[in-house]
Amino acid sequence: MLFNSLGFAIFLPIVFILYWFVLNKNLKIQNALLLISSLYFYSCWDYRFLFLLMFSIILDYYSALKIHTASLGSIKKFWLTLSICINLGFLAVFKYYDFFVHTFIDMLSSVGIKANLLTLNIILPVGISFYTFHGLSYIIDVYKQKTQPTENFIDYSVFVSFFPLLVAGPIERSTHLLPQIQSERKFDYSKASDGLRQILWGLFKKIVIADNCAEFANIAFNNCDNLNGSELFLGIIFFSFQIYGDFSGYSDIALGTARLFGIDLLKNFSYPYFSRDIAEFWRRWHISLSSWFRDYVYIPLGGNKGSQAMIVRNTFIIFLISGFWHGANLTFIVWGILHAIYFIPLQLLKKHRQHIDIIAQDNILPSFSELFKMAATYGMVCFAWILFRAENLEHAIRYIKILFSPSLFALPNGDTFMHTTYPFLQIASLLLIFISIEWLGRKKNFPLEDLNKKITLPIRWAMYFTIGFTILYFTGKEQQFIYFQF
């Protein structure tokens, strides 16, 4: 069930009405409704993988209780290790097994050895990377005594499977989400209306920006051998906004939907393309994943403590794992390594935290220096996106070679982007409007936040109608979210 589907448009109001107007007097029943709704939501993808989700939930729930009640440290460590190994084992089998087998076969072939090894060719369960990390953070926090395990199985199950975040995050922490699930919730009109505004903006990002940019990006990447450098340049620009609009749009819909039920999820994006260096970009892009790796991998490895060699090692490990988390393809691994190369000089020079506040904090426009830094950072990110989008390393290399050929300075062919649903200039104009709105709203959690406090009712509703009409105008075939594949 997609957030941008008719099915979800029917599903959400039904759950909302039952939650607030039928079952509002009993927290336990409300949470049971959220669990049933979440399991149904997940089963709409493929009911066969419900067993995997439920197995993961039961394993971590039981392991956390055993860790908490165990009197010996060795027993605690046994249950922690068991949970981690089984969770990562499932992830390895479903997501990475075929990749390792094919890589091993290719290595043998390169030295003249033919191998016929078994591959599984199984479907990747949607959301497995996200709900696995939910469970792992819970188990580790219980082991480190940062949180107490809950004895209420339904509450814990909702924490892992809450439908707004189940398939593509944000990756929540038990210390943040579980207390909200366990506490009585009262309907808050202002919170719910703000949630609807965030859903509206998320749908705009996905349907109007991401899905239309995808058409132009696909033309560039699918036909890179037949295009010139300037056309490939436009292609990577369009892909950068496709992936941003797609993933941050999903996160906006997830956060807005959760807010309808009185629950606040972790912020996952904070205008990353307005960053002035790569370190700031990673504080603003997929925030929940970056902070997860920081807290559960980077800091345990030693973090910024120790020699410079250890700091470099730790940083490389984090970005390498981050790349591998995104998918079983060498392109993602090289993408992660490239970002490590971007990041490490800032870290060694102790400049990785020099840009904490939002750009042009007290001004309407950025200074020339800020604009240059922002453009340079965006360019570095876009170059790395080539690896992220390419089918394989050979494809990425071909794309880069043509991109940086003399044809980069040639005019784009007027026929290149002709065979799209909507004209090039129309989508380019929408992109400029989108960037302008995001820039003006960069100090907020999302541009439409608290709109009712600053704009009169007629103008406000005119804006809602305009955005809603634009979404309906561009609504076509349901397009799956990019991060569902991770």
**Active site (catalytic) residues:** 326
- Residue 412 CB neighbours (<10 A): 17
For residue 236, give the amino acid letter: I
Burial of 140 (0-12, 13-18, 19+ CB in 10 A): buried
State the burial class of residue 220 (Cβ atoms within 10 Å of its Cβ: 0-12, 13-18, 19+): buried
CA–CA gap between residue 200 and residue 192 (Å, rounded): 12
CA distance from start to end of the chain: 17
Cα–Cα dist 280/198, whole Å:
24
Q: Find, among 266, 215, 275, 277, the residue nearest to 242 by Cα.
A: 215
Residues in the chain, how many? 486
CB 287 within 8 A of CB 267: yes
Query: Residue by residue, what is the 3-state secondary structure of 57-84?
Result: HHHHHHHHHHHHHCCCHHHHHHHHHHHH
Q: Do you find a cis peptide bond into 170, omega within 30 degrees of 0?
A: yes
Comparing C-alpha atoms, which of 2, 127, 43, 44 is closest to residue 475? 2
| Tokens of residue 36, six digits | 């049933």
Residue linked to tokens 């759950």: 15
Q: Which residue is it, tokens 């509002």?
A: 24
* Residue 432 CA neighbour count, 13 Å, CB half: 6
Sign of the CA dihedral running 234, 359, 336, 203: negative
DSSP 413: P
CB-count burial class (<10 Å; 0-12, 13-18, 19+) for 117: exposed
Question: Which amino acid, one-letter code, is at 209?
Answer: I
Do residues 242 and 389 lie in contact, with contact meaning Cβ atoms separated by under 8 Å? Answer: no
Q: How far apart are CA 309 and CA 306, in angstroms?
A: 8
CA pair distance 340, 318, nearest whole angstrom: 8
